[in-house]
Structure 1
């Protein structure tokens, strides 16, 4: 995120900074000294959440009118791409920003049967806990020693964008009613695809394509049909495959971890113990005793 910061004391502005980026989405969190953000016209849709401190935002509307808003803790500010904005703060500020590529938002809308032409609505709202939680979850995933993978990130970003489309845009959805979940054939194809590719870093798009559905509709229908999210089901199947391999007593645990899609043996051991309450080595010893 390239923004011209200037502090009131001309010191280095950042006391703390974390950034992450995926296809179509950028997330950052920063704790900065008192200062201001010079006016800029963002190419991305900007969503800012004030974690602590007070932020005053100045926006210029299409008619040239200046709109001034003041944000306290957990306040949300949404600035659509192309709208000039500046800001200032008199005390140390802890702020989280999420930037969305407009093309990514449009693509997500079309895939999920929203109108292809819409506008995000400029918003100043006291709180939106879902947006804040997803932003923090994305940052936590970026800093994780053993990240959960593409499927988890895509699930978070899909939920985030669709929440914006439903609550902060002019878009209308013509989505079909999925109250019945997936058909038997589509569910079987999705499950088969997951099991056949356990060692891969699967994406939500790949699994949804196997069932011939959009990502969002697939995720919702899959959960209604199975009681689990695609990410949870994938992890369950990896653990079951690992149990099968552990029971054979002829493969090193490190190789089993790689064959079942885990980043390394440490990651495998942590999640195996979470599901079974035992380490892979202990489980194998008890199974073969």
Structure 2
């Protein structure tokens, strides 16, 4: 399913400021849009939509009706709207232009995977409540982290977003389902679990030049993405995103010290999308530019 089709259909007049299209994110999509005032077309979503207002617009309101429920919400920074799978919206109005709104889309399969992991059939994408004016600091924090990667690509950013999407799915299902899951949090106790993570780690180091994602690494470890992300941190002490980012920067340091490659070649070999992205990430962690590091290296 192309998650971006939903935004194109629901927001035909909205400006697209940033999109995850082309980023190869798995199991999540995001768009930053500027909305004009006016009515939106009716729609029945096939994926979970989470909307986050990133700016306060004094006097602006969003009115909408879905699942027989009519809502009118002031647009304030941090306000969240939830629109679950299968809930038809047939009356949506934006009272004033909105300069910047984040839309995150999660496929129904994300919720199915969570239900399978926890053995709880009540966890479904269509079981989330249709809500407006949600004040949830955790969802807000996750949304802003996805927004940061959407507008400023970083090393291992795809992994960070996919891991954030797992946490976002779990939070929405846990806090806003019609029936809140009560199952205990299971954890793999098999003796071969550390070995599964070792396989993923070996794959990471063999493929640092590639775009890596949590879904792909979970498949290497023969685990679900939810289970893999939790188990990886339990075994290594780091999230997959943090581990990959550190491994890429460590490879970059070694290549810079060897002085056999140009800065551009070091960036690509270390898995960065561009020399500019490499320079920004390297300086943020190391405290100097790659060129300066190479000059000072023995």
Q: Same fold (TM over 0.5)?
A: yes
Q: Is the deviation greater in 28-37 or in 251-260?
A: 28-37
Deviating more after overlay: 269-278 vs 13-22: 13-22
Within 2, Cα distance between the matches of 1:199 and 1:210? Answer: 17
Which of the residues 193, 200, 216 maps onto 2:226?
Answer: 216
- Higher relative contact order (Cα pairs below 8 Å, separated by 6+ residues): 2
Report the secondary structure of 1:112's partner residue.
helix
Query: What corresponds to 1:202 in structure 2?
Result: 212
How far is 1:204 from its partner?
0.9
Q: Is the 8 A contact 2:48 2:106 kept in 1?
A: yes
Aligned alpha-carbon RMSD (Å): 3.3
SS of equivalent residue, structure 1 residue 39: coil
What does the per-residue CA deviation read over 1:123-181, in whole Å, with 9 as the maximum and x for residues that have no partner?
2344123323333433442333657443223112222212212222236356413699x
Q: Answer yes or no: is 1:3 the counterpart of 2:10.
A: yes
> Match of 1:121?
129
Distance 2:106 2:269 in 1: 35
CA contact (8 A) 2:37 2:94 kept: yes
Q: Which runs of 4+ in 1 moved over 6 A?
A: none
User: What is the deviation of 1:198?
Assistant: 1.5
**Corresponding residue for residue 130 of structure 1:** 138
Residue 9 of structure 1: aligned partner: none
Partner of 1:159: 167
Partner Cα distance (1:19, 1:199) in 2: 23
* Alpha-carbon distance in 2 for matches of 1:176, 1:109: 12
Partner SS, residue 42 of structure 1: coil
| Residue 92 of structure 1 pairs with residue 92 of structure 2 | no
Change (3 A) 1:99 1:189: closer
More strand by share: 1
Asked if 1:101 is matched to 2:107, the reply is: yes
Question: Contact between 2:155 and 2:245, CA under 8 Å: does it hold in 1?
Answer: no
Instruction: Tell me how many residue pairs correspond in the alignment.
Output: 276
Largest Rg, 1 or 2: 1
Give structure 1 stretches of 5+ with no counterpart. Answer: 6-12
Bigger Cα displacement from structure 2, 15-24 vs 157-166: 15-24
TM-score, scaled to structure 2: 0.76
